[in-house]
Amino acid sequence: MPSFTDAHGKTWSVRVDVAALQRIKDECDGLNLLSLLEDMTNPFWSDPAAQMKVLYAILKPQGASLERLMDGMGGEIYNTAQEALIEACIDFFAGRRKEVLKVAWTKAKEETEKALQSALKDLSGNAPESQE
């Protein structure tokens, strides 16, 4: 089961099931989380606050509070929480659909890493030489 550890050292297990999907709809103005999985360019995926509201709805039965989740959420903790959310969504499905989503997620992460490496290489290669 996907999980992440928050800034307070608490490890949260992220599981998407029908009850969690209903809590998300109730807490997040009717949001259909699984439909967002099919469109990773949706603005939701670049909105950390919206993602924390969804995680809060999922983790509410574990005693989560929205304030606690958002407090200290950034950097590597945010990245891990976002990955746990996406992986939990993928785990909701079964069969071929789950396989396709896993492959698509893996490829998306690989392409993102390649793009970041390329950008870093371009920026490093084009940086003016320092004068000593």
Please report which confidence band the pLDDT of residue 130 belongs to, taking 50, 70 and 90 as the band edges: very low
CA angle 32, 34, 38 (to 5 degrees): 115
- pTM for the structure as a whole: 0.83
pLDDT at residue 129, rounded to an integer: 53
